[in-house]
Amino acid sequence: MASSSRTLLPLLLLMFLVAAHCGGAAAQGRRRLLARRAGDPNSQVKFDFSPFLIEYKSGRVKRLMGTDVVAASADALTGVTSRDVVIDPATGVAARLYLPSFRAAARAPVLVYFHGGAFVVESAFTPIYHAYLNTLAARAGVVAVSVNYRLAPEHPLPAAYDDSWAALKWVLANATSGGDPWLSQYGDLSRLFLAGDSAGGNIAHNLALRAGEEGLDGGARIKGVALLDPYFQGRSPVGADAMDPASLQSAARTWSFICAGRYPINHPYADPLVLPASSWQRLGCSRVLVTVSELDRLSPWQRAYYAALRGSGWPGEAELYETPGEGHVYFLTKRGTPQALAEMAKLVAFINRD
């Protein structure tokens, strides 16, 4: 027994020393790895815009959502056919066109749509927008053009505005004889609409302003603009967030990221409430629909937008549609709910009303 103990003790001591050495080596290796990462700009966070993306000091951008794409297709559920076009090969601006199966003798309204995503995620080709546009094109009976503009931070504002303006000009040029076969054969430019959700609603508003100031090619006019839970915010004193320093600081920081510091948060691009009445009066469309979701943090600015437009002396017709108990752009992910179906019906009626 004593002999066995004398044999085991050196073995146990040796095993302890080996384990300690290996553990120390592993810990040292982990420390070296962490040190390398700490000095690696590809791993150092420059701006955390969760849940959308993270930008690293190396310039690498990791998007956390809105990167999946689906191909254009003939949709069996709605009967809508879609196809993709390149608008500007130099910038990569493109669009997905949607044509409903119903072919009326009369031409159909033309809807130019701008997707949301805080100007930094999503595209015209993601599943969520492909499904939404299929449904909208079918129910409204429109030829729809869903614009794929460039995203920040790689392409900060005003890139999205410039790309969307170029897409609108492309639509106008291709809705005439010899242009795009769907737009020229089925589209009715006398019923031209712009629409967008969140950041896309912001784009639609800013394009309508530009159309009113500069005019559109061929004397075309925008009949209506639908702003679906539009992305507006700033320092205008509306709602609790506008009076909260932390919220204002966060909004200013994210807006600066989107535009690379080119415009302050109280610039008209972000906060149209700073516009003079004369600018509102030149809004280049006949009617505007603003939708608001009750639980949306941006809802105070959306309601204030509607009130400012109504009170500006603009000669058009403005409508406000509110959904209680829902959050920002809920209708994209809850398409089959009664609330989303009711909002879709409102949008369809807005487009098809004489």
Q: For this structure, is 155 an active site residue?
A: no
Structure tokens at 80: 């809508």
Rounded to an integer, what is the distance from CA 167 to the centroid of its chain? Answer: 16
| Dist CA 30 CA 25 (whole Å) | 9
Provide the sign of the torsion angle of the four alpha carbons 344, 296, 118, 286, taken in this order: positive
CA distance 309 to 315: 10
Q: What's phi and psi for 223, nearest 5 deg?
A: -75, -40
Is-catalytic flag, 256?
no
Q: Which of 88, 162, 256, 328 is catalytic?
A: 328
Alpha helix segments (H runs only) across 39-120: none
Q: What angle do CA 174, 88, 166 make, to 5 degrees?
A: 65
Q: Reduced to 3 states, what is the DSSP secondary structure of residue 222? A: strand
* Distance separating alpha carbons of residues 261 and 21, to the nearest angstrom: 52
Residue 279 appears among annotated catalytic residues: no
CB–CB of 57/39 below 8 Å?
no
For residues 133 and 113, give the distance between their C-alpha atoms in angstroms, rounded to a whole number. Answer: 9
Which among 163, 296, 299, 312 is annotated as catalytic?
296
Cis peptide before 51 (omega within 30 of 0): yes
Which pair of structure tokens corresponds to residue 251? 């909004």
Q: Select which of 123, 198, 236, 312 is catalytic.
A: 198
- Dihedral pair phi/psi, residue 292, rounded to 5°: -135, 130
DSSP 16-62: HHHHHHHHHHHHHHHHHHHHHHHT-TTTSEEEEETTTEEEETTS-EE
Which of 133, 127, 89 has its CA nearest to residue 114?
133
Which residues partner with 111 through β-bridges? 144, 193
Catalytic annotation, residues: 198, 296, 328
